[in-house]
Amino acid sequence: MRDRRQIKPSANNKSESLNWESIQRVRLTLFAFTAFTIVVCCSLLLCRSAKAESVPSARESAAATNPMAVSAAAQATPTPTVVQFSQVSYQVAEGTVQTDITVTRTGPNTLPSTVDYVVSDGTATQKSDFSYASGFVLFLAGETSKTFPVLISDDAYFEGPETATLQLTGASGATVGTPSTATLEIVDNELIDGLLNPIDDPRNFAAQHYHDFLNRDAIGSNDQAGLDFWTNETAVCGSNAACLVDRRENVSAAFFLSLEFQNTGYFAFRFYCASFPDSTPRPRGLPRYFEFLRDTQRLGRGVVVGTPNWESLLEQNKQGFALDWVNRTDFLAEYPTSMTRDQYIDKLFLFLGVTPTPAERNQAVAAWDALGSLMEKRARTIRAVVDTGGAFNAQYNPGFVLMQYFGYLRRNANDAPDNNFSGYDFWLNKMNAFSQPGEDVRDAQAALARVKRAEMVKAFLAASEYRLRFGSGTPPPIGPIRF
């Protein structure tokens, strides 16, 4: 086939020349028609575009009749609700005092928000300089600023300024903003190491017990009358050493035996004993120090025995605590929701080491059988079980001994320098040996008599580890039993 690109008109071939001219005329005609078609199409498109621009959209039509509609449609991303510390650093002078840390909320505030906080070691330590704290801040609707307390301890050491670390995490109904971490500087009140141990001062002795056992500051919680009462209990001894040893033991034991501690710290302890067996995370099923403080601080939040409505506030705290408890992952692993009522009750009593009386078992059954969700039934029932006389008496000695380590030494019983439970076992065996058959320690006098017979509180108050938290480890006169 010939390549048409090589065809040329020939002068000697008239027919071929005519054919070539015809082809050219056809080509020109087609080219002109194509160009005309393109121009027409473009014109139509331009007209359609212009018409489209002149016709309002549905949104524009709605905007013309309802300006609020376009405002809502065009609204930018909502402003988030944010919680954060009010500043990056705070400062407090050393002493047995309370300082308040401010958390602010910005953005929409028509709904509640919460955020968790933790106060932990920096260059300052929770054992000697401040009390470890873990809790949450609640913003109610309309609130933009809240505070939480940090308890400071007084010691006789010249240390210069030290800092505790403050952190916000786990916000609900808000996000955690900046700063989410802050420091609390504790300004030293010594220029040299002091010769006197602050814990030997009657007022400081009482004030520190509020921190160590009730997780609150007496002055900060408006309990001046209580602080004055417990201060006077040892101040009346003057320089009478024997009187001081006896009175200090009584005052110290009274904080553990108080209605407030029994319904916060000892209440939480029994929950642990009813819930968990011996395991690596919790040897012997005992609570660990930091988690115990977190729970007791929650139970005691805002509670000052003797003030208006303290009973209802305590009950509210207990109900919330129990509901959250039965929803914890580690509790559900041990007590799955598939358990029957009787299986659940039997296991709780088993872990507590209690053979319930018919009345105690009926108490637990009644708690379960009352109306409510499964979670409410389980929460009510564990409360009913741990509040039985059998549970209270069975766990009293283990609980009292462990509180000596948590309260006085601010550590787990098997932490250094012990590194095992030998010290805990020694004191537990001694408490058991001084327990009398049929003794009901729900009676405060019976409980105090057992404690004094065992002389355990006296020993911990004189222990160098306790005294070194604040100053000299030398025991006061007439030193009691050594460890």
pLDDT tens-digit profile of 28-79? 343 444 444 443 444 433 334 443 344 344 334 433 445 444 454 445 678 9
Residue 111: pLDDT over 60 = yes
Q: What does the pLDDT average to over 20-24?
A: 39
Question: Taking Cα atoms as reference points, which of 174, 156, 159, 394 lies closest to residue 273?
Answer: 394
Tokens 């209270």 appear where? 392
Phi, psi of 450, deg, nearest 5: -65, -45
C-alpha distances in Å from residue 255, one per residue of 9, 167, 240, 424: 124, 30, 23, 20
Alpha helices in 213-309 (DSSP H): 224-235, 241-257, 259-262, 265-275, 289-299
Q: How far apart are CA 177 and CA 180, in angstroms?
A: 6
pLDDT score, position 76: 66
Q: How far apart are CA 111 and CA 394, in angstroms?
A: 45
Give tens-digit pLDDT for 69-90. Answer: 445 444 567 899 999 999 999 9
222 contact partners, CB below 8 Å, separation of at least 6: 304, 307
Residue 336: pLDDT over 70 = yes
Give tens-digit pLDDT for 203-237. Answer: 999 999 999 999 999 999 999 999 999 999 999 99
Q: Encode burial over 339-355: b for 16+ CB neighbours within 10 A, e otherwise.
A: eeeeebbebbbebbebe
- For residue 137, what are the β-bridge partners? 115
- Residue 449's H or E segment, with its range, is helix 444-454
Q: What does the pLDDT average to over 296-303?
A: 97
Give tens-digit pLDDT for 243-294. Answer: 999 999 999 999 999 999 999 999 999 999 999 999 999 999 999 999 999 9
Q: What is the mean pLDDT of the chain?
A: 87
pLDDT band at 191; cut points 50, 70, 90: confident
Token readout for 31 is 């080219």
168, 83 Cβ separation under 8 angstroms? yes
Hey, what amino acid is at 447?
A: A
Distance of CA 327 to the CA centre of its chain: 15
Give tens-digit pLDDT for 123-148. Answer: 999 999 999 999 999 999 999 999 99
15 versus 470: which is more confidently predicted? 470
Q: Is the peptide bond before 336 cis (omega within 30 degrees of 0)?
A: no
| Domains detected in the chain | 1-75 (no CATH), 81-195 (2.60.40.2030), 255-325+395-467 (no CATH)
- Residue 422's H or E segment, with its range, is helix 422-433
Q: How far apart are CA 447 and CA 397, in angstroms?
A: 10
Residue 472: pLDDT over 60 = yes
471 three-class SS: coil
pLDDT band at 476; cut points 50, 70, 90: low
pLDDT > 70: what percent of the chain? 82
C-alpha distances in Å from residue 13, one per residue of 9, 16, 17, 18, 362: 8, 5, 6, 9, 126
Please say whether the dihedral angle defined by the alpha carbons of residues 313, 223, 271 and 138, taken in this order, is positive or negative: positive
Q: How far apart are CA 76 and CA 205, in angstroms?
A: 58
pLDDT score, position 475: 61
Q: How far apart are CA 461 and CA 424, in angstroms?
A: 16
**Whole-prediction pTM:** 0.82
Hey, what amino acid is at 344?
A: Y
Q: How far apart are CA 229 and CA 243, in angstroms?
A: 17
Question: Taking Cα atoms as reference points, which of 153, 204, 161 lies closest to residue 184?
Answer: 161
